[in-house]
Structure 1
Amino acid sequence: MRPPSRFSISSILTPTAFKSLIASSKSPVIPLDATWYLPNSGRDGREEFLSERIPGARFFDIDEVKDTSSPYPHMLPSAEVFDKAMSNLGITRDDILVVYDKQGNFSAPRLLWTLKVFQHPSIFILDNYPLYKREGHEIDTKKLSAVEEANPAAAIYESPGLIEDRVVAYTDLRQVIVEPLFRKKFNIIDARPYARWTGEAPEPRPGLPSGHLPDSISIPFSEVLDESSKEFKDTSKLQELFLEKGVDPDKPTIVMCGTGVTACVLETALGKSGLLLEDKPVMVYDGSWTEWAQRSDDKFIIKGKH
């Protein structure tokens, strides 16, 4: 695998800092609602957006803006598909984007990472929507009949393209895993719940075996968030957590989860921690466990604890 190139830096905003950004910015500040729920949750992010959103928000559907030719749920779209989606949302590259989700740092980091790999110049994540509501900031509850009602006229958006070396493909990861000495040169971190990592709990997708990659580290994404507020933990606590779990700051890091969504929570948290050197960055295995469990040899699907 090639050493990854430089990556755009994003910032984490408190609700108060978000409001200050809107008040002080000379460029348009556009909130992007990236709410997504697991298929068995019975909830729909798009439908909830129609009833409630941050004023001026637009809905970015991670279930639609993806590689629809792939059998895996959330593979990154092509630059053409991404650019078309952004254009349809009325977004230009001069806009400042602030992503959020209704759960509070669940699916918004996936959109944040997507915007980073497609090199949008100015991006932030709101930390977070439930806290924004509790603090009494303005909410738009006008009922919309269609998401398009919240969007202005289409714009022209042209990204510079995807930073490919921040995305790990199955063939790349297999190359790492097959050779034990090689895989020990990487931090491989899994964001799924611990019981799915050990294989004790089933995957939410029927027929998919649970378990984990050899030499991977289990850090459920919930552990980088405050239990009550769902905010990202502060820098010192994140550093302590990652070091305690065995993350080596001198190694490049690969993060994964079930379908590539909550892996990005870890990617954001690792960035906030400041633990990793710039030349030892975080890469996301886009297909994540859903792809690995279907394509890999059984000997590379490990059950139990290390």
Structure 2
Amino acid sequence: MAMTGPLVSTAWLAERLGDPNLRVVDASWWMPAEARSGQAEFLERHIPGAVFFDIDSIADRTVDLPHMLPTPTAFAGAVGELGLGRDATLVVYDTFGIRAAARVWWSLRAMGFEKVHVLDGGLKVWLAEGRPVEAGPASPKSVSVAPAFRPDLVRNSGEVLAALGSGAEQVVDARAAARFRGEASEPRAGLRSGHMPGAKNTPFDTLLNPDGAMKSPEALMEVFAAAGVNLDAPIITTCGSGVTASVIALALARLGREAAVYDGSWTEWGGLADMPVVTGA
């Protein structure tokens, strides 16, 4: 099942459903204000054979920040219970199109998984094409997974602050333009509005087509160029809580570029009084 690139098409996946070396992962997640449950919707319908990856459960419960990466040992144990071995090819999708699937794709890669891909357009495109679904809970066969970690794909607040000061890495923010400029309140209470000094703004939805699939490489390069992002320089991505930052990382991976994700993102940064915040463009 050799492949290149981070995305697979619905046709590619449909042809391989049932392959013993394939694992399908439903990563659907919604903001609290959206009043939807990814897990409940998984039980109603999902791609045949899929397991559900809950980013709020497979997370660091010792910090007061949403869905932060857990320890490599805790992560390995959780994904092992889902039957996600390192030798399998993993295809992650969500109901939005491409949103939380990118977060799980990045999380798996940060924890040393190499054969991980995102279903382009997710369940949205899968259903639009009339492809099969099933209902009910998953019953995966657990596997043993050795812990691993790739620190090059993860940044913390101190590392982001240092990058802003040195200019060694660009910071690209996936939040909506009004939030980036400080003109709209943050959806999580208690956070300052605005952005990190020197950050670039590339709202994650500008990387997607109306059907939820990712734009072509040529169109992605145009979006990044318009935002002033230098694709030949190192990049840290950020957003509200590390979810849509991963969409930027996925888009960059489509262009053959590696990026790190600031895991705490604005939920951490905007809540820290000693971190610099600016408003406007």
- TM above 0.5, one fold? yes
Counterpart for residue 207 of structure 2 = 224
State the distance in 2 between where 1:79 and 1:296 align.
30
Aligned to 2:72: 79
How many residues in Structure 1 have an aligned counterpart in Structure 2?
278
1:296 Cα offset (Å): 4.5
1:196 is matched with: 179
Post-superposition offset of 1:119: 1.7
Q: Which residue of 1 aligns with 2:233?
A: 251
Choose the corresponding residue for 1:49, options 42, 59, 68: 42
Which residue number corresponds to residue 173 of structure 1?
Answer: 160
Which residue, 277, 287, 306 being the options, matches 2:264? 287
The residue type paired with residue 175 of structure 1 is A
Superposed displacement of residue 12, structure 1:
0.5
Q: Secondary structure at the match of 1:294?
A: coil
Alignment gaps of 5+ in structure 1: 1-8
Q: TM-score, normalised by structure 1?
A: 0.86
Q: Which residue of 2 aligns with 1:132?
A: 126
* Post-superposition offset of 1:153: 3.2
Q: Please tell me whether Structure 1 or Structure 2 has the larger radius of gyration of its CA atoms.
A: 1
1:264 and 2:246 correspond: yes
Deviation of 1:88 (Å):
1.2
* Superimposed CA distance per residue, residues 182-215 of structure 1 (whole angstroms, 9 cap, x where no aligned partner): 13x3221000011000000000011211100001
Q: Does 1:186 align with 2:169?
A: yes
**Distance apart, 1:273 and its partner CA:** 2.5
Write the letter of the residue equivalent to 1:156.
S
Aligned equivalent of 2:149, options 162, 166, 184 = 162
1:38 counterpart residue number: 31
Aligned to 1:3: none
**Equivalence map 1:59-74=2 (5 Å):** 59-74=52-67
Which residue identity lines up with residue 9 of structure 2 in the other structure?
T
User: Is residue 5–residue 254 contact of structure 2 (8 Å, CA) maintained in 1?
Assistant: no
Unaligned runs of 5+ in 2: none
The answer for the alignment partner of 2:217 in structure 1 is 235
Cross-structure match for 1:301: 277
Cα distance in structure 2, aligned partners of 1:268 and 1:245: 17
Per-residue deviation, 1:250: 2.8
Match of 1:211 in 2: 194
CA drift of 1:221 comes to 0.1
Tell whether the 8 Å contact from 1:10 to 1:122 is kept in structure 2 after alignment. no
Code of the residue aligned with 1:100 in structure 2: it is: Y
Question: Root-mean-square deviation (CA), in Å?
Answer: 1.7
Partners of 2:268 and 2:6 in 1: CA distance:
30
2:157–2:262 CA contact under 8 A, matched in 1:
yes
Q: CA deviation at 1:28?
A: 2.4
**Which of structure 1's runs of 4+ aligned residues deviate more than 4 A?**
none
| Superposition deviation, residue 120 in structure 1 | 1.5
- The share of aligned pairs that are identical, in percent, is 35
SS of residue in 1 equivalent to 2:34? coil
Distance in 2 separating the partners of 1:32 and 1:282: 23
TM-score, L = length of structure 2? 0.94
